[in-house]
Structure 1
Amino acid sequence: MSGRAGHALSLQGLSKRYGSFVAVQDASLEVGSGRFLTLLGPSGSGKTTILMMIAGFVEPSEGRVLLDGRDITAVPPERREFGMVFQGYALFPHMTVAENVAFPLRVRRLGRAERDARVRATLDLVQLDQFADRRPSQLSGGQQQRVALARALVFDPALLLLDEPLSALDKKLRAELQDELKALHRRVGRTFINVTHDQEEALSLSDEIAILNAGRLVQVGAPSALYERPATRFVAGFLGRSNFVEGEAERDAGGIVLRRGGTRVLGVGEAPPGPALLSLRPEKITVLAEGEGEENVVEGRIAAWSYLGAGYAITVATADLGELKVHLPAWRIPLVPAEGMPVRLGWPRGAAVAVAEDPA
């Protein structure tokens, strides 16, 4: 790999329509040089369509794609010099690992000596140098994925585009490959654009996440910012799990006060007086021991519970707030849960975040 820096990508008002169906609507996005951005959303949200417009395989109905400020919207895919890793690897079964990785260099007519040197260096980068003479069928799924990554990187691409690259792997191997992919991104310094519907993968890998719903970009930001301060009900519910508390909001110096029945919930964020919605993550709620207090306290009874190894998932029925989901680490739970058991729940004001309802 050369020492050149990653490239900056800009999407300006991208839309894609297929007849009356709008796959992507007015998507604008800035990706800084060397960043790892993930396009995250459910099936049919438009994330793969955006990736294909970046790659040049799909022509936008409207808008522009810029690389380092240069308009490449009309540039054909083969001239964009982007590396691409597909969900199904797309390796040539009759070729060895080294031959698969060398293929983009042969297409570009590089000399044998330089081609061999680049292949060796790239296989070493993905820790597969000892498998150079094997065929894809002799490799595990994780090893095949690393071959696909090596082939996409060997010609020193301007961007690396990843279309759900880990979705075919089992959970344990996917977690291992996430760590490897993150480390690889740091080593090569390229700009990575990843597509996934896996929230944990997006949180683990990304410098920034762009969340899509029904063809629209609904929120973009760092993983921690999106998780801690979701803008809408959809973002709060899709990126992790959340309880939602509806009520009437009142202005307050520390944020907002939401009233529901006889219960007041202190929260943070912006909401005008009137109907409002708070998002409350299950892991931010605790079961209070006798005499223990918190900024928000609600009484209820355990309706259901599950032991998950590292913790407990508990559903608590409350009089005014309905059922609240609570996730507690097993090592610090102050009780042995049982259905019908009375409990007091508590959480800090900052755990309850005002979010907007999604547009119809």
Structure 2
Amino acid sequence: MSGVTGHALSLVGVGKRYGGFTAVEGVDLSVERGAFLTLLGPSGSGKTTLLMIIAGFVEPSAGAVLLDGRDITGLPPEKRQFGMVFQGYALFPHMTVAENIAFPLRVRRMNRAEQQRKVRAALDLVQLSAFADRRPAQLSGGQQQRVALARALVFDPALLLLDEPLSALDKKLRAELQEELKALHRRIGRTFVNVTHDQEEALSLSDRIAILNNGRVVQQGAPSELYEAPRTRFVADFLGTSNFLRGVVTADGRVQAGETLLRAAVPLPPGSAALLSLRPEKVRLLAEGDRAANSVAGRLVSWSYGGAAFTLMVETRDLGPLRVAMPAWNAPVAPREGLAVTLGWDADAAVPVIEDAAAAA
């Protein structure tokens, strides 16, 4: 590959309407050169429509798409020089691996010697040099995915667009290819824009994530920022798993839920209603004599074993059922239904969130 650096992408007020239906509305996004951005959201959230607008396959009803500050909104897809990897790979079954990878170069009428050089480099990049003469049907799903990546990168695209590229793979292979895709991004330094509904994939791969719901970006930022400091209930609930605690803020800034007083990560206005997000892995079982900023008594009503961790469901009087993630190795107690426990968590573990996602859009 040529080692071309990535390009910066900006979306300014981008929207798309189909008659009376709004698929995307008022999206502002900036992707730095060489960054890995993931558009994350549930089905129907607008993420794929947004990717198709970036690619040029869908014309926006409003707003502009900028590449390095240049307006490319009116450019057709073939003029944008973007590589794209589709969910189903879209390989030509009658062509060999090398022929599939060479296809974008043939379309661009590149001379044969240069085609061969670039195909060899692309095969080396995805570690498929030994498979050049095979056809797609002779490859595993993971190998076909690598061919699709090589074909999308062989002509030195300005951006690489990925439309759920790992969704057709089984869980173990998907995890392996996530690592390979992340390493590939680091090696070539290009700008990647990825679409997925898989939260773990988004957290693992991305420099930045934009979470969409109902056609709007409800929050964007670094993966750790979104996970640790979600602004809305939707973001906290969609990106991972969370408990939600409701109460009213007292005069001293604590949150009262029934007879339980809770401390939150940030000060809240006295007298206001509060909704706190609490990640299960931030809750621990307190031994006798242990102290925590927040604590509540409860009874274990169910549990499941997931290998690395137990997931406990603990019923409490004032906070309702709470989910707890407890490491299975060297667990402080052996889970059993009916076990009386005391749960504790730090003040900064309980993050205030907004109920209505639209309020934070």
Q: Same fold (TM over 0.5)?
A: yes
Question: One-letter code of the match for 1:358?
Answer: D
Distance 1:133 1:26, change over 3 A: same
Q: Aligned to 1:267, what secondary structure does the other structure show?
A: coil
Runs of 4+ in 1 over 4 A off after TM superposition: none
Q: Does 1:341 align with 2:339?
A: yes
Give the Å deviation of 1:3.
2.4
What's the offset of the Cα at 1:294?
Answer: 1.0
AA aligned to 2:273 is P
Maintained 8 Å contact 2:233/2:357: no
- Which of 263, 266, 269 is matched with 1:269 structurally? 266
Residues of 2 paired with 1:95 and 1:215: CA distance? 38
- Name the residue aligned to 1:60: 60
Distance (Å, rounded) in 2 between the aligned partners of 1:359 and 1:43:
16
Deviation track 1:249-303 (CA, whole Å, cap 9, x = no partner) reads: 2465xxx521111101101136433111000000000011121111111101001
Q: Alpha-carbon deviations, 1:202-236, whole Å to 9, x = none?
A: 00000000000111100000000000000100000
Is 1:257–2:265 an aligned residue pair?
no
Q: Find the aligned partners of 1:215 and 1:321 in 2 and give their Cα distance.
A: 33
Whole-Å separation in 2 of the counterparts to 1:249 and 1:4 = 54
Structure-1 separation of matches of 2:166 and 2:226: 22
Q: Distance in 1 between matches of 2:57 and 2:324?
A: 45
One-letter code aligned to 2:68: D
Structure 2 Cα separation of the partners of residues 250 and 299 of structure 1: 21
Correspondent of 1:354 among 349, 352, 355: 352
Match of 1:316 in 2: 314
Aligned residues between the structures: 357
Q: What's the counterpart of residue 221 of structure 2?
A: 221
* SS in structure 2 at match of 1:325: strand
* Alpha-carbon distance change, 111 to 237 in structure 1, aligned in 2, over 3 angstroms: same
Following the alignment from structure 1 to structure 2, what is the Cα–Cα distance between the partners of residues 208 and 309?
Answer: 30
TM-score of the two chains, using structure 1 as the length reference: 0.98
CA distance in 1, matches of 2:273, 2:331: 34
TM-superposed deviation, 1:359: 4.6
Paired-residue identity, %: 70
CA distance in 1, matches of 2:345, 2:176: 34
Residue deviations 1:135-172, cap 9 Å, x none? 00000000000000000000000000000000000000
Residue in structure 1 matched with residue 70 of structure 2 by the alignment: 70
Contact 1:270 1:354 (C-alpha < 8 Å) held by counterparts: no
CA distance in 2, matches of 1:87, 1:43: 15
Work out the CA distance in 2 between the residues paired with 1:75 and 1:251.
Answer: 58
1:95-174 map, 5 Å: 95-174=95-174
Instruction: Confirm or deny: 8 A CA contact 1:279 1:354 kept in the other structure.
Output: yes
Q: Partner residue of 1:301?
A: 299
Unaligned runs of 5+ in 2: none
